[in-house]
A and B are shown apart, each in its own frame.
Chain A
Amino acid sequence: MTPARVAFVSHNASRSGAPLLLLQLQRWLLDHSDHELVTVLLDGGPLEADFAAVGPVVGPDDLAGLDADLVYLNTVGAAPALAVLPDGPKVVCHVHELDYALTHWIDEADRDRLRHRVDRFLVVSQLVRAALERCVGVDPGRVEVHYGFVDVAAVAAGAPAPAASGTRVIGASGTHVIGASGTTEWRKAPDLFLALAAAVERRRPGGEYPWVGGADRGPEIDGVLADRDRLGLTDSVRFVGEQPDARAWFAAFDVFALVSRDDPFPLTVLEAAALGVPVVAFDSTGAREFLADGCGVVVPYPDVEAMADAVVRLLDDGPGRAALVEAARRRVRADHDLGVAAPRLQAAIESVLAS
């Protein structure tokens, strides 16, 4: 393929799913193609230096004069860039959002530009494809599903027990650890995590329930903490905030609980699978597509009682748990490893360039 100039527009450089996935893709392209890469950050964040290590980074003011063959919008959050983009380049949009974000994070003008200006949509799950059709009116024929991915070997290698890394000991002898991870915003439902912890404690007292990531104090989480104390779960449910060795925490979980009410295709679920941790999730998230066929447990949203039953079954049923963990591990290696998924994304980008 003739080398092309590809501009990646990211809504910010936060340490969250979409920017992390973009970085992995850019690094892959750097090693496996001759394309010239530019990153446009609409807002900053802790990953700025990582983006700068891949290639030049520019800001929103440079969009109008952008000289690129293809513009890759990394989320619909980057859609406002379409308002100032010159007419020339082809446009691909990678969509990581469901109904709420597609309705409330962008406005009708953005949706209109997405419908008319984007040549191809790459979405992270079938659930997102349906939401894109429902909320933005995008013809499903212009949409390709490209599930999220992780570097499985790197994830599995990065998981010493937290005790060894000096973070703190979780899951001391005899206790069960039901963990969760993500920001602490409404979509990720820390409120339902409390309800789950209470429901599991009724069935199996004495557990630990760490939530890794998001806020550990402040207005976003204060209400949840007050509820936690009211429920008598002060010592067992802990919001530990961002952790540099999050994977080491995951590795110490007996069960990973994805309690999100709205989650297009969380990478944390892939990481848990790579680490051999079984996952339970609600059917309102894209995770259900990865967890299907015995790779995890999916329960109807927001039935926390059913989720608690599933958690206890996983704690008790050794062989069943092992089979599930193995199936998930096989699937993450086969379909969601960087080495498998990034070439597919590269092919999608190049087919748009060639069209």
Chain B
Amino acid sequence: MTAGRAARPFLHSPPVPQARRGTVLFFTHSGDRVGPPMILLDLLTWIAANTDLRFEVLLWRGGPLEAEFGALAPVHDVDRIRRWPLAARLEALGRPGRRAAALLREARLRLWLWRIPRLRTVVVVSVGPNDYLRHLRPRRPRVVTMALELGLQLVHLDDNDGRLRRETERFVAGMPVIRDALVGLGIDPGRIALAREFVDTRPPAPVRVVERSELGIPEDGIVVGSAGVMEWRKAPELFVQIARAACAAAPELPLHFVWIGGDDQGYAARLADEVDRAGLSGRVHFPGRQSNPWDWFAMFDLFLLTSREDAFPLVCLENASVGNPVLCFDTGGMPEFVGDDECGAVVAFPDVELMAERVVALAADGDERRRRGELGRERVRERYDVSVCAPLWYEAMEPLFP
């Protein structure tokens, strides 16, 4: 790069060192503290420590994990690349200006991505929107897709005339159920390798102790926790219904229900209304997005996953890591972890009454609750820790790496 070119506005990124073999670009939708970016961060941490792979990271938009990615490799934030002052000025000029600005934003993104040295492989983390791939196409990278999702999310296979379906040379499925779902959607089983989703089972150092009194929960209260973005897939409305059924079935138990997680779709207001209507004010709590989820998990006694579609939510593994039994419906991949109720309970979707019975049974029997929690803790360390699973992912992808 020459000094003269570096002065131009679309070439402001830091200079990149030359790679010996070529670069692998890992793409994920954001730097938010949610499943796919967290898996990627753990995986890249392992790769950086254990291999000499040269890689960079592309985020659709930034987020709290961006700095941690940045400590491992150069990070490109599509949202920021497109947020170009020149384009913003053009947009103020009405419709033709907006059209020109859109073209300029895309051109800038394409130029930006062209500067990744010796791009050989793109790893797409989770089946999702993939419009950016067209900008990489002229460089003809090999494409690996890490499939971490189930259900409606898989419709993105057919976005942009099926680009992901067409261009992915190898899918790596995080769970057998995901592999089956891909096969069901017409992906040749020979193109699918299998790995296993994971977490870093060592809880991070506590940020602060979350006191029950913050939510008005008594010290002897039994806290049924959940966590996730409030959206249809995660079924927060069933969380309220289960709370109602459980409180009705066992009015003598000091049951409290706490869901941490953000809300982009107006769920929180609806659910607050629902909680009032069900007469559960003070028993069901939605404290919103939290930056220190592990501190909240430490306050939970049980973890209740209400998802209708969730391939393998890591938040369950994290809760298992701190000894919380996991209760879930028989959808997605989590029953594989819970087993025959050994580490919690599995209930047919969407049997709210039966789930409430299971919650009450474990809430009432502290010994059994701790026994199942302990089994979960052992299982997650043995099978789902990053140290065990990251090598599986690496081996599955390595044949396509430079």
Task: List chain A positions with a Cβ less than 8 A from chain B.
Answer: 99-100, 103-104, 186, 191, 195, 222-223, 226-227, 230-231, 261-262, 284, 301-302, 305
A99-B352 Cα distance, complex, nearest whole Å? 26
- Tell me if A226 and B273 are in contact (CB < 8 A): no
With an 8 A cutoff between CB atoms, is B152 at the interface?
yes
A226-B309 Cα distance, complex, nearest whole Å? 10
Binary A-proximity of B19-38 (CB < 8 A = 1, otherwise 0): 00000000000000000000
- Tell me if B277 and A284 are in contact (CB < 8 A): yes
Query: How many residue pairs bridge A and B at CB < 8 Å?
Result: 37
Using known A-B contacts A191-B237, A226-B152, A301-B278, determine if residue A262 contacts B273 with beta carbons closer than 8 Å. Answer: yes
Q: Which residue of A lies closest to B309 (CB)?
A: A226
- Tell me if A305 and B244 are in contact (CB < 8 A): no
Q: Report which of A227, A261, A301 forms a contact with B308, defined as CB distance below 8 A.
A: A227
Q: Is the interface of B mostly helix, strand, loop or mixed?
A: helix
- Tell me if B278 and A195 are in contact (CB < 8 A): no
Binary A-proximity of B347-379 (CB < 8 A = 1, otherwise 0): 001101100000000000000000000000000
Q: Which residue of B lies closest to A302 (CB)?
A: B241
Report chain B residues within 8 Å CB of A261: 274, 277
Q: Report which of B237, B277, B331 forms a contact with A230, defined as CB distance below 8 A.
A: B331
Closest 5 pairs (CB-CB, A-B): A223-B232, A100-B273, A284-B277, A104-B269, A186-B270
| 23 contacts across the A-B interface (CB closer than 8 A) | A99-B273, A100-B273, A103-B269, A186-B270, A191-B237, A195-B350, A195-B352, A222-B152, A226-B151, A226-B152, A226-B308, A226-B309, A227-B308, A227-B350, A230-B308, A231-B349, A261-B277, A262-B273, A262-B277, A302-B241, A302-B244, A302-B278, A305-B353
Report chain A residues within 8 Å CB of B237: 191
A314-B51 Cα distance, complex, nearest whole Å? 70
Q: Which residue of B lies closest to A194 (CB)?
A: B350
Report chain B residues within 8 Å CB of A262: 273, 277
- Tell me if A301 and B331 are in contact (CB < 8 A): no
Name the distance in Å between B164's Cβ and chain A's nearest Cβ: 20
A222-B151 Cα distance, complex, nearest whole Å? 12
Q: Which residue of A lies closest to B241 (CB)?
A: A302
Task: List chain B positions with a Cβ less than 8 A from chain A.
Answer: 151-152, 232, 237, 241, 244, 269-270, 273-274, 276-278, 308-309, 331, 349-350, 352-353
Q: Which residue of B lies closest to A195 (CB)?
A: B350
A202-B151 Cα distance, complex, nearest whole Å? 26
A284-B308 Cα distance, complex, nearest whole Å? 26
Q: Which residue of B lies closest to A222 (CB)?
A: B152
A223-B231 Cα distance, complex, nearest whole Å? 10
- Tell me if A230 and B273 are in contact (CB < 8 A): no
Name the distance in Å between B149's Cβ and chain A's nearest Cβ: 14
Q: Which residue of B lies closest to A104 (CB)?
A: B269
A262-B272 Cα distance, complex, nearest whole Å? 13
Report chain B residues within 8 Å CB of A302: 241, 244, 278
Report chain B residues within 8 Å CB of A103: 269, 273
Report chain A residues within 8 Å CB of B244: 302
Q: Which residue of B lies closest to A224 (CB)?
A: B232
Report chain B residues within 8 Å CB of A226: 151-152, 308-309
Name the distance in Å between A240's Cβ and chain B's nearest Cβ: 22
A100-B270, A226-B152, A301-B278 are known; give 11 further A-B pairs, CB within 8 A.
A99-B276, A100-B269, A104-B269, A186-B270, A195-B350, A230-B308, A262-B273, A262-B277, A284-B277, A302-B241, A305-B353
A219-B108 Cα distance, complex, nearest whole Å? 33
Name the distance in Å between B310's Cβ and chain A's nearest Cβ: 13
A103-B269 Cα distance, complex, nearest whole Å? 9
Name the distance in Å between B119's Cβ and chain A's nearest Cβ: 35
Report chain B residues within 8 Å CB of A227: 308, 350
A301-B309 Cα distance, complex, nearest whole Å? 26
Report chain B residues within 8 Å CB of A284: 277
Interface centre among A99, A100, A231, A305, by most B CB within 10 Å?
A100
Interface centre among B232, B331, B353, by most A CB within 10 Å?
B232
Q: Which residue of B lies closest to A191 (CB)?
A: B237
Name the distance in Å between B328's Cβ and chain A's nearest Cβ: 15
Q: Which residue of B lies closest to A186 (CB)?
A: B270
- Tell me if B349 and A301 are in contact (CB < 8 A): no
Q: Which residue of B lies closest to A227 (CB)?
A: B308
Interface centre among A99, A103, A230, by most B CB within 10 Å?
A230
Name the distance in Å between A197's Cβ and chain B's nearest Cβ: 12
Name the distance in Å between B354's Cβ and chain A's nearest Cβ: 11
Report chain A residues within 8 Å CB of B309: 226
- Tell me if A301 and B269 are in contact (CB < 8 A): no
Report chain B residues within 8 Å CB of A222: 152
Report chain A residues within 8 Å CB of B353: 305
Q: Report which of B151, B152, B232, B277 forms a contact with A301, defined as CB distance below 8 A.
A: B277
Report chain A residues within 8 Å CB of B276: 99
Report chain A residues within 8 Å CB of B241: 302
A230-B244 Cα distance, complex, nearest whole Å? 24
Name the distance in Å between B348's Cβ and chain A's nearest Cβ: 10
A230-B329 Cα distance, complex, nearest whole Å? 12
Interface centre among B244, B277, B308, by most A CB within 10 Å?
B277
